[in-house]
């Protein structure tokens, strides 16, 4: 135990470890806030599809040798999110197929581009870290932390300000339209927020794992609580705890950060699920 604390103390003297904790908690918080809406609206797959599109965009950005990849990745993901959520509204049969097509397509194109126009000696390493997050968190720089801080502040403020509208649109979009207000603006804002969260989380836990951060805390919390507000708050708390625990464990056991956080989320989900079942019975 004492050894563990010593190890942690040693690591926390490095600024990049502190950065990782800050970034991780911010991302976990933002993603869990939106997760509840996405899961309830039956849009869980959109997070997955979007993260693959973001991967493709990132590959294009690295081929173009852009200094700041988010300049390209963020707008592309936002636009895709808007398009996907719009087709999702009048859910036709092809809706889920469209998402699957888009996400696999983006993945394939991204991987191909990274291979053909490889800029580094270790292509598979690059791909792996884009998909599953950086194996080490040493790469985080102050400017990443600042960007993450600003964007997650935007998401959180938007979420609080739009909270009542998000609830109404999530529960019953037709009702909102019938009262004479357009639900489009709210859907647009939800799409923008999701895209931001995915782009943020991608660098950290990787594009394959980010949708786990979105979905798991929401599901855990939904199996325990029954009002929307408590579900949202609890899923944020659980997500932050899992992210924090995941980072600490990954430092101690030298496991990949993203995967460790997701495993923590999964374990917590199993616990919540069992408690929910026992309580329900």
Partner 1 sequence: MLDVKNLSIGYEGKPVAEDINFSVKEGDFLCIVGENGAGKSTLVKTLLRLTKPLSGEIVFKEEGIGYLPQQTVVQRDFPASVWEIALSGNISKLGARPFYRAEEKKRAEDNLKRMGIWNLRKECYRNLSGGQQQRVLLARALCASEKLLVLDEPVSGLDPKVTAEFYELTKELNKSGITIIMVSHDIKAIMEFSDHILHIGRDNVFFGTTEEYLKSSIAKEIGLNSGEEG
Contacting residues toward partner 1, per CB under 8 A: 40-42, 160-165, 167-168, 171-172, 174-181, 222, 225-229, 231
State the minimum distance, in angstroms, from the CB of residue 169 to partner 1.
9
* Cα dihedral: 31, 32, 35, 40 (round 10): -170
CB nearer partner 1, residue 35 or residue 246: 35
Q: What is the nearest approach in angstroms of partner 1 to the Cβ of residue 228?
A: 5
With left for phi above 0 and alpha for psi between -120 and 50, is residue 216 left, alpha or beta? alpha
Would you say 51 and 208 are in contact if contact means Cβ atoms under 8 Å apart?
A: yes
For residues 223 and 227, give the distance between their C-alpha atoms in angstroms, rounded to a whole number. Answer: 11
d(C-alpha 152, C-alpha 29), whole Å: 8
Q: Least separation, in Å, of the C-beta of 39 and partner 1?
A: 10
DSSP code of 1?
-
Q: Provide the H-helix boundaries in the chain.
A: 2-12, 15-40, 44-63, 70-89, 95-116, 123-132, 142-161, 163-171, 173-178, 184-205, 210-222, 228-253, 257-280
Give 119 or 177: the residue with its C-beta nearer to partner 1: 177
Short-list 266, 12, 53, CA closest to 137: 12
Q: Which is nearer to partner 1, 18 or 165 (CB)?
A: 165
Which is closer to partner 1, CB of 6 or CB of 277? 277
**Residue closer to partner 1, measured from CB, 143 or 180:** 180
Distance CA 151, CA 240 (A): 17
Rounded to a whole number of angstroms, the minimum distance from the CB of residue 225 to partner 1 is: 6
Q: Which residue, 10 or 171, has its beta carbon nearer to partner 1?
A: 171
Smallest distance from partner 1 to CB 149, Å:
22
CB 100 within 8 A of CB 49: yes
- In the complex, the smallest distance separating the C-beta of residue 34 from partner 1, rounded to whole angstroms, is 15
Q: Which residues contact 103 (CB under 8 A, 6 or more apart)?
A: 48, 49, 50, 51, 52, 53
- Identity of the residue, 200 or 218, whose beta carbon is nearer to partner 1 in the bound complex: 218
Spatial CA neighbour of 209 closest among 72, 64, 51: 51
Task: In angstroms, give the least distance from the CB of 101 to partner 1.
Answer: 22
């Amino acid at each position: 135990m004492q050894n563990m604390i010593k190890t942690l103390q040693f690591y926390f003297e490095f600024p990049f470890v502190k950065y990782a904790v800050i970034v991780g908690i911010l991302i976990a918080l933002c993603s869990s806030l939106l997760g509840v809406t996405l899961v309830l609206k039956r849009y869980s797959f959109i997070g997955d599809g979007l993260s693959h599109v973001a991967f493709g965009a990132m590959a294009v950005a690295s081929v173009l040798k852009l200094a700041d990849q988010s300049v390209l990745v963020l707008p592309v993901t936002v636009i895709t999110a808007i398009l996907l959520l719009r087709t999702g509204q009048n859910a036709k049969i092809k809706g889920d197929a469209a998402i699957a097509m888009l996400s696999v397509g983006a993945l394939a194109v991204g991987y191909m581009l990274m291979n053909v126009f490889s800029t580094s000696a270790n292509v598979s390493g690059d791909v792996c870290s884009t998909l599953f997050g950086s194996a080490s968190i040493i790469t985080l720089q102050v400017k990443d932390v600042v960007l993450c801080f600003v964007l997650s502040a935007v998401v959180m403020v938007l979420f609080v300000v739009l909270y009542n509208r998000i609830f109404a649109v999530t529960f019953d979009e037709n009702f909102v339209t019938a009262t004479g207000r357009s639900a489009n603006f709210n859907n647009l804002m939800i799409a923008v927020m999701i895209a931001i969260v995915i782009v943020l989380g991608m660098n950290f836990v990787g594009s394959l794992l980010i949708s786990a951060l979105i979905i798991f805390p929401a599901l855990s919390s939904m199996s325990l609580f029954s009002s929307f507000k408590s579900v949202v708050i609890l899923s944020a708390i659980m997500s932050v705890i899992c992210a924090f625990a995941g980072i600490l464990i990954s430092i101690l056991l030298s496991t990949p950060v993203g995967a460790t956080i997701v495993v923590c989320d999964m374990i917590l989900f199993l616990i919540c699920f069992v408690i929910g079942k026992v309580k329900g019975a």
